[in-house]
Structure 1
């Protein structure tokens, strides 16, 4: 079974309690960005990563604005589930931007990245990386992967969201950036069932097709994916 949850920010307790603790080797957990376990490279962080690597389930994560992209780039890229991922050891993988994964017979477009609203107060290479926003090459790769499946997927998983989702909700903050515009663009072309995103630290069902996820655990195998933690 596939399960989704929102930003974990290096909080190992999110995996030790609630529904996630009971998952087995046939399950897949997807974190919708700001994974936070590739951040400072400390011994304590490595202990947490080692614990996650020993879980029986497969753990996938999108990147957000709270990832150390210098540390993340050291992990090798490989093909998995029909898309590109970086293997962190065990069953832990970072999903490369624009990959269309096939999980349990369903197609998932995955696209991480977000702009830190407080980046002016952060230090480059210490707690902020320009790679938090996608490159032109990553946008192009995403469009190529979507073209290959005729812009038809079952689910869309992103860290940030199209501005069209944010403009009429309490989630909106800051100005529209290039990533928002790109997501707006593919939104108009895509045929999809549901769109899930993290980033805004709220558990909110915006419409029948869009949902912001934070601490909820969404089971994709349950009718209308209504599971709440």
Structure 2
């Protein structure tokens, strides 16, 4: 089984969710960005990472925008389940951008990163990183990997939603739509790729936008069925 959940922001209590507790040895939990446990490299943080990596199931995350990218990049890079990862500790992995993975006979395409909505404040406080947005090389690598798979993936995992989905959600909130290059890139993937489900986490919302696009935050969803794990 592969369970999908949204931004955790360093909140360990999220692992007590009943849906996560259903995961068994060999299962996988994928977090759609803003993992938040790799921030200051403190003894407490290292202890928590070891605890998470010692779970019986795999814990995987794509990066969001609120990450310590300099610290994250120091972890050893390797290949696992078909794609590039940073192995943090034991069963804890960072799924890198533009990769294709295979879990439970399903293929998963990953593209983390985005643009902080509070970028001005974070820049002033010296806690903004230009690494939060995917580089041109990462975007091109994603396209190349998808082309090798005939532009097919069973599941797409991103932090940001595609352009049209983001515009729809922002319109419902009465906010102006700020479209980034990444949103446009993801919109192109919508048009050319074949997939069953697309999960994203940046909107902090639990909602099935359509039969294929799912915003996920605190809930846990079975990647194979699209149903909530409770």
Q: TM-score range by the shorter chain?
A: over 0.9
- Structure-to-structure mapping, 1:12-91, within 5 angstroms: 12-91=12-91
Superposed CA RMSD in Å reads: 1.6
CA distance in structure 2 between the partners assigned to 1:119 and 1:165 by the alignment = 21
Deviations 1:3-58 (A, max 9, x none): 10000000000013423234221210000000001112222222211210111111
Unaligned runs of 5+ in 1: none
For 1:213, the equivalent position in structure 2 comes to 216
Gap change, CA 1:126 and 1:10, over 3 Å in 2: farther
CA distance in structure 2 between the partners assigned to 1:124 and 1:92 by the alignment = 32
Unaligned runs of 5+ in 2: none
Q: In the alignment, does 2:178 pair up with 1:175?
A: yes
Equivalent residue pairs, number = 227
Q: TM-score with structure 2 length normalisation?
A: 0.93
- Structure-to-structure mapping, 1:23-172, within 5 angstroms: 23-123=23-123, 126-169=126-169, 170=172
Give the CA deviation at 1:124: 7.7
Check the 8 A contact 1:152/1:192 in 2, yes or no: yes
Q: Secondary structure at the match of 2:128?
A: coil
Check the 8 A contact 2:9/2:36 in 1, yes or no: yes
For 1:225, the equivalent position in structure 2 comes to 226
Q: Runs (4+) of structure 1 moved beyond 6 Å?
A: none
Gap change, CA 1:125 and 1:132, over 3 Å in 2: farther
CA distance in structure 2 between the partners assigned to 1:215 and 1:89 by the alignment = 24
Gap change, CA 1:207 and 1:45, over 3 Å in 2: same
